[in-house]
Amino acid sequence: MQISLKDTLKTARLGFDARLAEVLIARPDLSYTEIEKDFGISETVIRRVMKQFNIGARKRGPKPTKSTRAQGNGNV
């Protein structure tokens, strides 16, 4: 039986997408920029994988600091 290049590429891409999805789920502390640099990919690839595996969007904005958390709890 002959293996087609198209099927080989599809299998490789699915494997990569699954590993990326694992990172997106397991490491919510990493920013998209950090993931882009670590994997050598674009934000478009991240969004495609998030859609493919039905992963919700992350919170936006700066990471909270200790002083911000203390203010939110009423401890100034």
pTM tops 0.75, yes or no = no
pLDDT at 3 over 90: no
Q: What confidence category does residue 65 fall into, taking pLDDT thresholds of 50, 70 and 90?
A: confident
DSSP type of residue 42: -
Instruction: Read off the pLDDT of residues 14-61 as tens digits, 9 standing for 90 and up.
Output: 999 999 999 999 998 888 999 999 999 999 999 999 999 999 887 777
pLDDT number for residue 19:
95
Torsion angle in degrees (nearest 10) through CA of 65, 57, 48, 22 = 70
